[in-house]
Amino acid sequence: MTPTRPAPTFYVLHGDDRFSLRGEVQVLRARMSDPALGDLNTTVLDGAQVSVNDVLSAASVMPFLADRRLVIVEGMLAALNRRGSGKGAKAELEALLAALPNLPETARLVFLESEILPEKHPVLRLALDEGQRGFVKEHSPPRDPSDRPNEKDKSRRRWDAGWVARWIAQRAEYYGGRMEPRAAAALAQMIGQDLYAADSECIKLVTYVGTERAISEADVTALTPYVPEASIFHIIDAIATRNGAQAALLVHRLLENEEPLMLLGMINRHFRLLIQVREAIDLGADVRQVPEVRGDWHARKLSEQARRFSLEQLEAILRNLLETDFAIKSGLVKDVLGLDLFLAGMAE
**pLDDT (tens digit, 9 = 90+) per residue, 268-309?**
888 999 999 999 898 888 888 887 776 666 787 888 889 989
DSSP letter assigned to residue 111: E
In contact, 164 and 188? CB cutoff 8 Å:
yes
H-run or E-run covering 108: strand 107-113
- The per-residue pLDDT for 302 is 86
DSSP 8-state assignment for residue 36: G
Strand 69-74 to 10-14 pairing: unpaired
DSSP-based three-state secondary structure for 339: helix
The secondary structure of 123-160 as a DSSP string is: HHHHHHSGGGTEEEEE--PPBPTTSPP-TT-GGGPPBP
Q: What is the pLDDT of residue 231?
A: 67
With beta carbons less than 8 A apart as the criterion, state whether 20 and 48 touch: no
Q: Which amino acid appears at position 239 of this protein?
A: I
- Using only the alpha carbons of the chain, give its radius of gyration: 26
DSSP 8-class letter at 107: E
Cα 277 to chain centroid, rounded: 25
| Cα distance between residue 293 and residue 296, in whole Å | 8
Q: In what order do the strands lie in the sheet with 134-138?
A: 42-46, 69-74, 107-113, 10-14, 134-138
Given this model, what pLDDT does residue 138 score? Answer: 94
Q: What per-residue confidence (pLDDT) applies to 1?
A: 45
Q: What is the pLDDT along the chain (348 residues), one digit of tens a residue?
A: 455 678 899 999 999 998 999 899 988 888 877 666 667 888 999 888 889 999 999 999 998 888 889 999 998 998 888 776 667 778 889 999 999 999 999 999 999 998 899 989 999 999 998 888 999 999 999 988 776 655 554 556 788 889 999 999 999 999 999 999 999 998 887 777 888 888 988 998 999 999 889 999 888 877 775 555 556 777 887 888 777 777 888 788 778 767 888 888 888 888 999 999 999 898 888 888 887 776 666 787 888 889 989 999 999 999 999 999 999 999 999 999 998 898 888 766
136 CB-side CA count, 13 A:
19
Amino acid 3: pLDDT? 56
Residue 217 vs residues 60, 74, 314: alpha-carbon distances, Å: 53, 38, 27
133 phi and psi, to 5 degrees?
60, 35
CA distance linking residue 192 with residue 194, whole number of Å: 6
| Ordered domains of the chain (ranges, CATH) | 10-138 (3.40.50.300), 161-211 (no CATH), 228-346 (1.20.272.10)
Say whether pTM exceeds 0.85. Answer: no
User: In this predicted structure, what is the pLDDT of residue 150?
Assistant: 54
